[in-house]
Chain A
Amino acid sequence: MTTSAHTAEIEHAHVEAQPPRGWHRLTAPGWLRVLWTTPLGFGVGVGLSVLIRWAAHWHPLFRGQVITTVELTTTPLGFLVGLGGFDYWAHYASGKATRPEDHSGHGARSWRDYFRVNTDHKVIGIQYVVTTIIFFMVGGLMAMLFRAELARPGDQFFNPQTFNVLVSEHAALMIFLFIIPAFAGLGNFVIPLMLGAADMAFPRLNALSFWLLPIAGTMIVGGMITPGGGPSAGWTAYAPLSVHQPLGQVFFNMGVQWAGASSIMTALNFLVTIITMRAPGMTFWRMPLLVWANFTTSLLVVIATPFIAGSQFFVMFDRVLHTNFFEFQNGGYVLGYQHIFWFYSHPAVYIMMLPGFGIISEVIAVMSRKPVFGYRLMALSLMAILVLGFSVWAHHMFVAGMAGWLRVPMMVTSMVIAVPTGIKIFSWLATMWEGRIRFTTPMLFSLGFLSMFVIGGLSGIYLASVPIDIHASDTYFIVAHIHYVLFGGSVFTIFAGIYYWFPKMTGRMYSERLGKLHFWLTFIGFNLTFFPMHYIGLQGMPRRVANYAPRFADINLFISIASFGLGASTLVFLYNMIRSWRYGEAAAPNPWRALTLEWQVSSPPPIFNFDEIPQVVGNPYEYGVPGAKHAIFGAPLPEPVGAD
């Protein structure tokens, strides 16, 4: 293709970028097209199911569970087609002329651009973060509801079915729709900027991965109102209980698939972006630790996530196709579910932790005005956690009755993970040592994370020890432990990240006063809520119960009241975010005086990130080194190596 033809095509694209008129609005990608493609997808699902059953002479023709399963695949596909998630690929596949330089789907000029298939990683990052915070609120609200039930022993507000649904939904939303995708969102916004890239490697895939998320969330929440009751087998959904649950369980099965697909696609995108799109001079040993953290996390995601997909598919097959993966009467292997499930879900703990480690490394170095202590060991310890993370899954099964010899090796590998984790903790402390620490909100959340995560890590040592775990597993001690790790750990780092990059994302400063208020309310509410759970668990209160022994009544009332306070503290955060986004004072390009690349461009960044490609000349954390630079702009670029 000649250069002139190419240029003409771009101009042509600009002409076509005019909004469609009249009936064309129904065929152009967007919400009007969604209005008819979604029901079409639904109809195709029902039709497929009935047609196949008719052709095979199966009766009855209409089986609710079968139709639901098929339709939970085809309806979302219809939605995605309507929104335009596949338009470019469809053009390409059908042999029509594509426009490689068409940027009409890139960037946000009005709020409407956040509600369509947008290929700009910065828009997608914000779409992710806002969506996940909505699910965080919904999941938190469910926790408040079942804490109200648990305020007294006996039945208060909910029957056991509703209680089990609330507990299962709370965990599923927080894990699959908040923590994991929130990190994907922050990473989406920051990583291409940190690498000096114009966008992610696959912007259209990136847009599609985001739009799978509202689908997954709607499905998991929507499962609550299905006939017979929502998913109520816990977020772990152990078979065979989950095989015999009402229809809502299928919504859980499929929702996890959609969320998992979104995760895998984003992780692939991160991997390719990090490997191939680093700015000149950005060697692996010059990458910020957040990039390292997302690199290792993405490896975990692409290797491990197919296993949870497998576990949910098998349960679904047992339900719909009458297979016997987990039906012991017919030769199924009940513990097989747990082995497959935890082969994902333990690495998932690191998927929910490592990106947070990355955020903390950024914040602590910048706010302490010192280089990260032991940078290379910090990166290597991430890789060590990645490798070890795959060898510890069965520590969730010490009381499950698996092969006895597996227990001690799994205990040892679980214990060993404390070593790289310890390296990280001590290195953060050493980074702060003799620094010039600024106690901004992100720094407060980082310090909160450090102290709380140490408690969660230490209670993890108790649980790695088989004899203690035999006593403590499936009790409130576990509930306390996971919340110290996932709330005191992950959620605190998400807050730190949101406050830290808020000026870059929105171009405005948040209110420091409200941010600090939010931190202290959360920190205190969190400890009052979750610390007493260690005690009631060890004393004999099992998890996931709507009723409990009267001797735990007072302490549960205390926990419930504290949890309402913790929930209320989130309102301060919301108010701060919404108000500052609208009315906050304009943010400088680099309010924290950080060296990493995302701070070297305007706030918010230009539509294609860098007007000039940066040339990376040094390490990202050279605070205190006179004249040190991470990157320079406007330097003559070196000849690309092997570009032919």
Chain B
Amino acid sequence: MRKGSIIQLAAIALVAAAICVAVALAIPWLPTPAGKEAQRIDFVFWFTTAIAIGVFAVVVAVITYSVWKFRAGPDDDSDGPPIHGHTTVEIVWTAIPAVLVTAISIVSAIVLAQNSNAGSNPVKVSVLARQFAWSFTYSNGKTLGYLEVPVNRKVELDITSDDVIHSFWVPQLGQKQDAVPGAHNKLVITPIKLGTFPVVCTELCGLGHSLMRSHIDIVKQSDFASFMKSGGTTTGPPGLAVFQKNGCASCHTLKDASATGTIGPDLDKLKQYATQAHRGSLAAFIKESIVNPGAYVQSGYQNIMPPTFGQQLSPNDLNDLVQYLAGQAK
């Protein structure tokens, strides 16, 4: 290889690398981290990106140079030089990638260990996923359709599912964990930024998969402390407890229960729906809609509510829930 060709090749590689760096920096590839884990993931991401850009630039440079310099003319029937290999070169390009991936592996393993460490006293929240809603239960017995956590404290989520596999993900926190029926998987998050972020289900879980969304509220530690104190057993009609325990709030809006879900019909409008539906008394309509949700689907909504609540709820709970919802309908 001539000295001139090495310089030209290096120049192309540098240009390619510069373009890649510009693309890497100009576009905000990752969400702004709202948690310590996401910050560490960002570090691994950019560490890997630096290496990837280097490799890519070299490959692109060789291809570009070859296309430019080694093009055969239309009438050129000659062959290239019969080079069969070069042991030193082959050892080098076996060794260098091996070193690079070892470096990435070590960094990744360290970050994984840090990101999985729940510390000595995390806030513990139980997460239950079911088609197609999330519910979050706290140590004081409170159950919400969304997740509320304090800033700057480690939180350990205990994630499980009732039916099929779901997956809990908050893009800004970087952490993700499948909710597997029959298993309790742990996930550690350490929020560092106040605000509200989406909770997304990332494992195909059925018809309502793309609507299986909730949110996480990251609040001040003092607010979280009062939230925990105010909790305990839910006061109010027994149906409200059933409503909250079963995650109805994830999909439905109901003022009395502070539920704001929009995936399913607005339960404050039940009376209006019942009139449109013509399916017997208000209570009968509500019961049918829980046990056999496909019987009547309110226009503007999809038939995605799991038909399994009839078996999941005890007859008493079902009655309480129907009474409560009917009582709320105005």
Interface flags for A545-580 (1: CB within 8 Å of B; 0: not) read 111110000000000000000000000000000000
B1 CB to nearest chain A CB (Å): 8
The residue on A at minimum CB distance from B115 is A467
Chain A contacts of B209 at CB under 8 A? 160, 164, 544-545
Chain B contacts of A374 at CB under 8 A? 84-86, 90
Tell me, yes or no, whether A642 is within 8 Å of chain B by CB.
Answer: no
The residue on B at minimum CB distance from A415 is B101
B210 CB to nearest chain A CB (Å): 3
- B112 touching A335, Cβ below 8 Å: no
Beyond A369-B78, A435-B66, A623-B82, list 6 extra A-B contacts (CB 8 Å): A240-B165, A371-B84, A373-B85, A467-B37, A474-B202, A475-B202
- B55 touching A624, Cβ below 8 Å: no
Tell me, yes or no, whether A35 is within 8 Å of chain B by CB.
Answer: no
Tell me, yes or no, whether A3 is within 8 Å of chain B by CB.
Answer: no
**26 contacts across the A-B interface (CB closer than 8 A):** A160-B304, A334-B181, A370-B80, A371-B84, A373-B83, A408-B105, A415-B104, A419-B98, A422-B97, A433-B70, A433-B83, A439-B71, A451-B59, A461-B104, A462-B48, A465-B48, A465-B105, A467-B37, A474-B202, A474-B203, A539-B171, A540-B172, A593-B77, A623-B82, A624-B79, A625-B82
**Distance of A321 Cα from B202 Cα, bound (Å):** 31
Tell me, yes or no, whether A51 is within 8 Å of chain B by CB.
Answer: no
Stretch at the interface among B26-34, B245-253, B278-286: B26-34
Tell me, yes or no, whether B63 is within 8 Å of chain A by CB.
Answer: yes
Stretch at the interface among A24-32, A398-406, A632-640: A398-406
Residues B14-73 near A (CB distance < 8 A): 27-31, 37-38, 40-41, 44-45, 48, 51-52, 55-56, 59-60, 62-63, 66-67, 70-72
**Contact check: which of B66, B79, B105, B159 meets A412 at CB < 8 Å?**
B105
**Distance of A244 Cα from B183 Cα, bound (Å):** 19
**Distance of A545 Cα from B112 Cα, bound (Å):** 28
Chain B contacts of A134 at CB under 8 A? none
**Contact check: which of A164, A434, A465 meets B83 at CB < 8 Å?**
A434
The residue on A at minimum CB distance from B74 is A438
Tell me, yes or no, whether A233 is within 8 Å of chain B by CB.
Answer: yes
Determine which residue in B27, B55, B111 has the highest number of CB atoms from chain A within 10 A of its CB, and name it.
Answer: B55
B interface secondary structure, majority: mixed
Tell me, yes or no, whether A426 is within 8 Å of chain B by CB.
Answer: yes
**Distance of A252 Cα from B20 Cα, bound (Å):** 42
Tell me, yes or no, whether B12 is within 8 Å of chain A by CB.
Answer: no
Tell me, yes or no, whether A617 is within 8 Å of chain B by CB.
Answer: no
**Distance of A47 Cα from B282 Cα, bound (Å):** 49
A441 CB to nearest chain B CB (Å): 15
Tell me, yes or no, whether A543 is within 8 Å of chain B by CB.
Answer: yes
With A412-B105, A435-B70, A471-B174 already in contact, the answer to whether A538 and B82 are too (CB < 8 A) is no
The residue on B at minimum CB distance from A458 is B52
Tell me, yes or no, whether A308 is within 8 Å of chain B by CB.
Answer: no
**Distance of A617 Cα from B292 Cα, bound (Å):** 76
Chain B contacts of A404 at CB under 8 A? 116
Interface flags for A407-426 (1: CB within 8 Å of B; 0: not) read 11001100110110011011
- B181 touching A371, Cβ below 8 Å: no
Tell me, yes or no, whether A493 is within 8 Å of chain B by CB.
Answer: no
Residues A503-549 near B (CB distance < 8 A): 534-535, 538-540, 542-549
Tell me, yes or no, whether B256 is within 8 Å of chain A by CB.
Answer: no
With A434-B80, A467-B108, A545-B210 already in contact, the answer to whether A377 and B85 are too (CB < 8 A) is yes
Q: How many interface residues does A have (CB within 8 Å)?
A: 88
- B204 touching A234, Cβ below 8 Å: yes
Interface flags for B219-250 (1: CB within 8 Å of A; 0: not) read 00000000000000000000000000000000
- A468 touching B207, Cβ below 8 Å: no
Tell me, yes or no, whether A238 is within 8 Å of chain B by CB.
Answer: yes
- B56 touching A411, Cβ below 8 Å: no
- A407 touching B112, Cβ below 8 Å: yes
With A408-B112, A422-B93, A539-B171 already in contact, the answer to whether A244 and B164 are too (CB < 8 A) is yes
- A369 touching B175, Cβ below 8 Å: no
**Contact check: which of B90, B202, B208 meets A160 at CB < 8 Å?**
B208
- B169 touching A434, Cβ below 8 Å: no
Chain B contacts of A549 at CB under 8 A? 198
**Distance of A503 Cα from B45 Cα, bound (Å):** 46
Q: List the 8 shortest-distance A-B pairs measured between CB atoms, nearest first.
A: A328-B182, A540-B171, A545-B210, A401-B185, A624-B79, A474-B202, A624-B82, A370-B80
Tell me, yes or no, whether A368 is within 8 Å of chain B by CB.
Answer: yes
- B204 touching A164, Cβ below 8 Å: yes
**Contact check: which of B78, B93, B302 meets A436 at CB < 8 Å?**
B78
Tell me, yes or no, whether A466 is within 8 Å of chain B by CB.
Answer: yes
B64 CB to nearest chain A CB (Å): 10
Chain B contacts of A548 at CB under 8 A? 210
Residues A127-186 near B (CB distance < 8 A): 155, 159-161, 164
Residues B104-125 near A (CB distance < 8 A): 104-105, 107-109, 111-112, 115-116
Chain A contacts of B62 at CB under 8 A? 429, 432-433
- B104 touching A371, Cβ below 8 Å: no
Tell me, yes or no, whether A487 is within 8 Å of chain B by CB.
Answer: no
- B105 touching A423, Cβ below 8 Å: no
Tell me, yes or no, whether B201 is within 8 Å of chain A by CB.
Answer: yes
B207 CB to nearest chain A CB (Å): 4
Tell me, yes or no, whether B315 is within 8 Å of chain A by CB.
Answer: no
A187 CB to nearest chain B CB (Å): 26
